[in-house]
């Protein structure tokens, strides 16, 4: 395999849930050595999941929840290594354990930082300051360190102490309001974590720019990435509509401001749907041909684009009467043949079996010691001069303690055993784990 672009870069990360882990996934995929520093005593519920194996009765009673949590809906003996969210982003990474609440753990972390290039963290506000591991503390031991910090709302300002999850960021910046259904109030809108994805991509890009800056100047720096601020540009049209026109945009659901019909329509089968969009007269005529030129399409209410836009409820009713009778893929092929933008709403089973994705190798088979063999989402892009693939499965808790402590930090056998006794080093949660 060709040398990857980030080989030789070491990243230390204390990251939780998805935003920070997504940053380091992207860096690890392209060759950076990413070392996750984890605790045997404290677990964030949405990172490695609950640490205590639930009873069999609980597993059966809450099988739907466990399906979301664990491979094969079964936590088994080491649930902390089987949590689905963690499995999604932990490939190509290493895991070592330290108790950062203790002075010895903080000392080991600083020694690791001395041997590293980048630190990534997205913990609750104030966490790194309490541990003495903020940028000021780390720069004292590694003057050219690059530190990416990812608070929900920033390190300064009146909201800097607020704690957030991705769904809260979605609401704070207004995305929750814009994507709700127009006939429901915002409390009926499901939560999303769009900001985790946007913050992850921006964070990885910021790290690369900081590396470039250090190569040119020799100086490290702290990167303050407020997750809410990475999401705002995605909603730029709504903000500009307000600042330029004084208009607060409301939700239009699956509809479009000038296309009609435009929506998501139920198809034959259980929970099967297709998306259809008609932007001009040519596409409308193509839709009519695909439907067999039904009599209702000649109704004066649908005679032109403006009329169709004013009568969308009736138009959608007619259209869904047709889509309900057909397979969602068959509808896509029939409409696209007539030049009408259309596509099926696919689920994970469709994605895994999609001939296009399979042909491109979009999923890669990995074998994990606690999860078995499964298909995993592959790399986010391909580079013509740098062939690449997932190199190692998601890391198990403490799997690389020997390498980190003995080779990277150079601790003696006696010091290593002392770290084990003190509860820093291990591969299973401590008895007091929460």
pLDDT tens for residues 207-238?
999 999 999 999 999 999 999 999 999 999 99
What local confidence, expressed as pLDDT, does residue 62 receive?
Answer: 60
Check pLDDT > 70 for residue 68. no
Residues pairing with 70 in the sheet: 83
Q: Which CATH class is domain 10-233+359-421?
A: alpha beta
What local confidence, expressed as pLDDT, does residue 56 receive?
Answer: 63
**Lowest pLDDT segment from 76-85, 94-103, 420-429:** 76-85
Check pLDDT > 90 for residue 423. yes
Question: Is 395 within 8 Å of 370 (Cβ atoms)?
Answer: no
Query: Can you read off the two tokens belonging to residue 330?
Result: 């068959």
Check pLDDT > 70 for residue 64. no
Query: Can you read off the two tokens belonging to residue 4?
Result: 């990857």
- Residue 1: pLDDT band (50, 70, 90) is low
> What's the length of the chain?
434
DSSP annotation of 64 reads H
Mean pLDDT (the chain) is: 93
What local confidence, expressed as pLDDT, does residue 67 receive?
Answer: 62
> Could you tell me which residues come within 8 angstroms of residue 59 by beta carbon, excluding any fewer than 6 positions away?
66, 73, 74, 75
- Domains in the chain: boundaries: 10-233+359-421, 262-345
Check pLDDT > 90 for residue 422. yes
What local confidence, expressed as pLDDT, does residue 208 receive?
Answer: 98
CATH architecture of structural domain 262-345: 2-Layer Sandwich (3.30)
What local confidence, expressed as pLDDT, does residue 66 receive?
Answer: 60
What local confidence, expressed as pLDDT, does residue 15 receive?
Answer: 95
- Residue 59: pLDDT band (50, 70, 90) is low
Question: Is 265 within 8 Å of 316 (Cβ atoms)?
Answer: yes
What local confidence, expressed as pLDDT, does residue 70 receive?
Answer: 82
- Residue 373: pLDDT band (50, 70, 90) is very high
Query: Can you read off the two tokens belonging to residue 142?
Result: 């590694």
Check pLDDT > 90 for residue 193. no
Check pLDDT > 70 for residue 58. no
- The yes-or-no answer to whether 10-233+359-421 and 262-345 have a common fold is no
Average pLDDT over residues 378-382: 94
**Lowest pLDDT segment from 12-16, 338-342, 349-353:** 349-353
Average pLDDT over residues 28-53: 88
Question: Is 228 within 8 Å of 169 (Cβ atoms)?
Answer: yes
Check pLDDT > 70 for residue 30. yes
What local confidence, expressed as pLDDT, does residue 61 receive?
Answer: 59
Cβ of 292: how many Cβ atoms within 10 Å? 8
Query: Could you tell me the pTM of the whole model?
Result: 0.93
pLDDT tens for residues 248-257?
998 988 999 9
Average pLDDT over residues 341-351: 94
Check pLDDT > 90 for residue 260. yes
What local confidence, expressed as pLDDT, does residue 359 receive?
Answer: 95
Question: Is 66 within 8 Å of 59 (Cβ atoms)?
Answer: yes
What local confidence, expressed as pLDDT, does residue 54 receive?
Answer: 60
What local confidence, expressed as pLDDT, does residue 190 receive?
Answer: 84
What local confidence, expressed as pLDDT, does residue 73 receive?
Answer: 78
DSSP conformation letters of 286-337 = HHHHHTT--GGGGSGGGSSHHHHHHTHHHHHHHHHHHHTTS-HHHHHHHHHH
Check pLDDT > 90 for residue 49. no
Check pLDDT > 70 for residue 82. yes
DSSP annotation of 396 reads P
- Residue 275: pLDDT band (50, 70, 90) is very high
Portion of the chain with pLDDT greater than 70, in percent: 96
């Amino acid at each position: 395999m060709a040398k990857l672009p980030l080989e030789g870069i070491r990243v230390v990360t204390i990251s939780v849930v998805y935003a920070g882990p997504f940053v380091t996934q992207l860096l690890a995929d392209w060759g950076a050595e990413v070392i996750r520093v984890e605790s045997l005593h404290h677990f964030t519920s949405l990172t490695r999941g609950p640490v205590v194996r639930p009873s069999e009765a609980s597993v059966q009673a809450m099988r739907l929840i466990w399906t979301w949590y664990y491979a094969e809906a079964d936590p088994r003996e080491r649930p902390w290594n089987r949590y689905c969210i963690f499995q999604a982003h932990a490939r190509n990474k290493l895991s070592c354990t330290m108790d950062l609440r203790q002075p010895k753990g903080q000392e080991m972390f600083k020694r690791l930082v001395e041997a590293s290039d980048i630190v990534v963290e997205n913990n609750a506000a104030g966490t790194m300051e309490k541990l003495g591991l903020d940028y000021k503390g780390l720069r004292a031991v590694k003057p050219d360190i690059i530190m990416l910090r990812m608070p929900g709302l920033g390190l300064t300002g009146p909201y800097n102490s607020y704690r957030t999850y991705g769904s809260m960021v979605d609401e704070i910046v207004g995305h929750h309001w814009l994507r709700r259904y127009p006939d429901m109030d915002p409390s009926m809108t499901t939560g999303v974590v769009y900001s985790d994805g946007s913050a992850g991509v921006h964070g990885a890009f910021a790290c690369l720019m900081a590396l470039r800056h250090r190569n040119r100047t020799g100086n490290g720096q702290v990167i303050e990435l407020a997750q809410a601020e990475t999401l705002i540009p995605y909603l730029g049209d709504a903000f500009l509509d307000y600042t330029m026109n004084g208009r607060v945009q409301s939700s239009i659901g699956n509809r479009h401001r000038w296309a009609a019909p435009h929506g998501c329509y139920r198809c034959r089968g259980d929970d099967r749907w297709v998306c259809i969009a008609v932007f001009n007269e040519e596409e409308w005529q193509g839709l009519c041909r695909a439907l067999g030129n039904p009599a209702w399409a000649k109704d004066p209410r649908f005679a032109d684009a403006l009329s169709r836009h004013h009568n969308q409820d009736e138009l959608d009713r007619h259209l869904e009467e047709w889509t309900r009778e057909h397979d969602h893929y068959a509808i896509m092929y029939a409409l696209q043949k007539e030049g009408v933008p259309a596509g099926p709403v696919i689920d994970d089973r469709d994605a895994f079996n999609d001939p296009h994705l399979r042909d491109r190798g979009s999923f890669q088979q990995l074998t994990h010691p606690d999860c078995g063999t499964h298909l995993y989402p592959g790399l986010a892009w391909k580079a013509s001069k740098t062939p690449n693939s997932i190199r190692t499965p998601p890391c198990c808790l403490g799997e690389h303690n020997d390498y980190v402590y003995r080779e990277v930090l150079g601790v003696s056998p006696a010091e290593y055993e002392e770290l084990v006794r003190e509860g820093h080093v291990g591969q299973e949660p401590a008895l007091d784990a929460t």
